Structure 1
Amino acid sequence: MAEGRAPSRLEGKYIAIIVCWLLGNGCLFSWNSMLTIGDYYAYLFPKYHPARVLTLVYQPFALGTIAILAYHEAKINTRKRNLFGYSLFFISTFLVLVIWPRLVGEELEHTLGYAQLVVLLVLQMLMFRAVWLVIFHLCHLSWFSLVQTFQSFLAGLAASGALTSGLRLITKAIFDNSKDGFRKGAILFFSISTIFELLCLILYALVFPKLPIVKYYRNKAALEGSKTVAADLAAGGVTIETPNDPIPVDRLSIKELLMQNIDYALDIFMIYVLTLSIFPGFLSEDTGSHSLGSWYALVLIAMYNVWDLIGRYVPLLKWVKLESRKGIMVAILLRYLLIPAFYFTAKYGDQGWMIILTSFLGLTNGYLTVCVFTSAPKGYKGPEQNALGNILVFFLLGGIFAGVTLDWLWLIGKGW
């Protein structure tokens, strides 16, 4: 390695933790913005189940994209991909902010047609392609580094939901009684989201690659044979000295890694199948009417997001962290008891019980996600860790796809 002294393994650790938290937050801020204003879209498209449609329509494209990225994971320039992803975040949220109010008009109409819904879906697909371009890389990058930075990134993903829920509650309180309040609240909401995505783009482009701890682990991965971090190292001012006749790195194939870690892949798949079969579609449309009125769905989504965030910090307490492979699998299977619990609570229970159940759904989602990702086998070489991280994120997305599809089953017997 050339250019200056070698970066330290722990130098800049706490700054890196904060930056990873912010970048994780930025990965899902746009996604959660779209989900959190579900009441606005339900008002615009009351016949089209927008909470379900918006989470389903982009999934086949995202799953196909991630499958290609997973297959070619060893050859992709991750810096270009992340810069493109964060740029796409900023552009898509900006387009929603600029185009959408013009489609709706100054006076909010109670129902809109297919044309406006298609435009919204196109903007959303741009946004969510960026989501998985960035999450896919930052997850496997975090596998190269300390557990604390990875956990901070995962917590940042959940924090985006908590922050957007808080902002949505604030904008609703401000504009709830004003004329055209839905539209004004949505415009303010997406204005904040656009600014935040621009901040994350600048943060990743100018700050993240120069952190000493990031340079250390990227350098370590490069020396172990990873070819995906060269551009990031160059951006951080680090160059790798390679021999004239490099020796090919002997590494496990994707199939071999999957077979060795199939239980972890199924774990992450099953976590998100259950979660997305309930959140946000069921919570937005099928929980009945209670004294909270139009605030009810927003409160449920906010409670899920807050407890999801809390759950991602619980494993910091070593005595409650699950690390046993069998223990994690048993906990995930027992979590499926939440399906009948939600069914009977929606049918017979009051809003207090539903809020408790939703909070538990979020808590277990965050807790088990961190347990799986931080307990998955270590000791692999850099390229193998990269590939294993990609495999787990692919199964996570597969679980989301299956979950949002199964979410439609709650509508059986209720009409369309």
Structure 2
Amino acid sequence: MTDPLLRAQLLPQEKPPKDRYNVAYIVFFIMGAGLLFSWNSFITAADYFGYLYPGAHIDRTFSLAYILAQFTAIILVINYGRRFSPAARITTGFTVFFVILLVIPLLDVAFIRDDKGTFSTLAVTVGLVVIAGTMDALEQGSLFGVAGELPEVYTQAITAGTGASGFIVSLLRCITKAALPRTRPGVRESAVLYFLIGAAFIAGVLASYRLLRQLPIIHYYERRKREREGEAQSILHLENGQSPVRCQRWEPNAGPPSLKNSPASPLQRDLSFDAYLSAPGSPHSPPSPPVLVELDSPQTAVTFWQVFRKIWLFAVMMLLVFLVTLSIFPGFLSEDVHSGLLGDWYPVLLITTYNTFDLVGKMLPLFFVVRNDKVIVSCVLLRALFFPAFLLCLHGPAAMGAEWVVFTLTAMLGATNGYFTGVLMMLAPKRVDPHEAETAGTVMVLFLASGLAAGALGGWLWLL
């Protein structure tokens, strides 16, 4: 006798439109770059702020201010953020980023005298950093949530974009710094130019987001999301006519199976393809086997803890990744290691090295994704070895303090940070039901911010 739970009314689904010329991928990449652009702009201008505020431990101060503001704001977004649409949160965040990057050069021109900052200008600057961290929290969960409703390659585009942000900002700082004299007035003039170009970039990100919302592929997945939230399609019925017990939907296979046969996975790919072929109205020669997506009842409210229980391991690993990274970058690299050969270029080049390899790491999931949980956990835990390695650069043999050793360790720190951030952000939304993707993005961003906050606090321990 056929198990009634396996007898489904399966409705054919239209194929998602193609991302012509990879426009959606490119826009998500650009928005990922914009997401951390203001943060990277502050920390990469370490030479400029160091001249204005000597002895203020400026990168450590910025890190702590930004990250604690971000962490606090994420808590508020979790509780109250759904009162506003993702589009409103994303647009507001980028608009405020644009204003912040304009205010910094205006502050320099209007209030900095004799190439020295004052307590008031420092307080205003730190206040702007706090606002930037708040806006980051406002839009980051929404942006990853929107991408999480699409195939996972678009989440990878955002994480790659965040890596590109650091690389672009570092390259911009190197160009503007090299273009003007290595004097205090020259550093200030180059910084004014640097922040103005950054503001123009954010204006381009806002224009790109307007384009994204018009793309057919975005309209398709937004419509699918509304269907999931408002209708119970393709419901499995019991033979005796009882109420439906769960919802399922056939969807196009967007990529290689990542969680096959996993009991915790919402993507059940081990059902017979013959059942699909025999369903009324289904195509007879599909290009690839479809995916049967198990959905919670559309009437079930999505809660933070409900989603956290599904992805807690990935969330904790995200925290540990950034705990290690932010304990070393940017404070240790910009303040604690020195080079007589490179002078004030040394922190700029170290930050550029980190950002470059962070970008490389975030691009690697395009070609290879580690999907084994044990391997991911082992690699993340091994990153703790960066602590004794960098400690030896300060207090070990003279050879360990050589520039090439510090650059090599910095490259490894950036590459591993980028890769595991990308992998965790890609896999987490696929461990939950599609309508929970935005909440999953918020969970991951919360733990990312928790790691950032813990790392920012840990960065001060190097001064002991």
Partner of 1:392: 444
Query: 8 Å contact 1:161–1:302 — kept in the other structure?
Result: yes
AA in 2 matched with 1:315: P
Asked if 1:220 corresponds to 2:228, the answer is no
1:303-318 counterparts in 2 under 5 A?
303-318=353-368
Q: 1:261 is paired with a residue of what secondary structure?
A: helix
Query: 8 Å contact 1:23–1:153 — kept in the other structure?
Result: yes
Identity %: 31
Question: Which stretch of the first structure deviates more once superposed, 269-278 or 85-94?
Answer: 85-94
TM-score w.r.t. the length of structure 2 is 0.78
Post-superposition Cα deviations, 1:156-198, rounded to whole Å, max 9, x if no partner, equal 1110100111111111211233561110010010010111111
Q: Of residues 86, 98, 109 in structure 2, which corresponds to 1:101?
A: 109
AA in 2 matched with 1:93: L
Q: Of residues 194, 207, 212 in structure 2, which corresponds to 1:208?
A: 212
Query: 8 Å contact 1:83–1:201 — kept in the other structure?
Result: yes
Partner of 2:201: 196
Post-superposition Cα deviations, 1:283-340, rounded to whole Å, max 9, x if no partner, equal 001113331111111111000000000001112223xx21111111110000110100
Q: Return the alpha-carbon distance in structure 2 between the equivalents of residues 64 and 170 of structure 1.
A: 35
Partner of 1:62: 70
Give the drift of 1:66: 0.7
AA in 1 matched with 2:123: V
Partner of 2:170: 165
TM-score w.r.t. the length of structure 1 is 0.87
Post-superposition Cα deviations, 1:343-385, rounded to whole Å, max 9, x if no partner, equal 1023332011000000000000001111111222626333311
Give the drift of 1:135: 1.6
Query: 8 Å contact 2:34–2:165 — kept in the other structure?
Result: yes
1:195-344 counterparts in 2 under 5 A?
195-204=200-209, 206-225=210-229, 249-250=299-300, 253-318=303-368, 321-344=369-392
Partner of 1:180: 185
- CA gap 1:377/1:202 in 2 versus in 1, 3 angstroms: closer
Q: Return the alpha-carbon distance in structure 1 between the equivalents of residues 429 and 118 of structure 2.
A: 50
Q: 2:344 is paired with a residue of what secondary structure?
A: helix
Partner of 2:41: 33
Give the drift of 1:73: 5.0
Give the drift of 1:13: 6.6
- CA gap 1:258/1:339 in 2 versus in 1, 3 angstroms: same
Q: 2:370 is paired with a residue of what secondary structure?
A: coil
Q: Return the alpha-carbon distance in structure 1 between the equivalents of residues 159 and 382 of structure 2.
A: 23
Q: CA RMSD in A?
A: 2.0
Q: Return the alpha-carbon distance in structure 2 between the equivalents of residues 122 and 97 of structure 1.
A: 15
Between Structure 1 and Structure 2, which shows a larger proportion of helix residues? 1
Q: Of residues 66, 70, 78 in structure 1, which corresponds to 2:86?
A: 78
Q: Return the alpha-carbon distance in structure 2 between the equivalents of residues 379 and 355 of structure 1.
A: 37
Give the drift of 1:277: 0.5
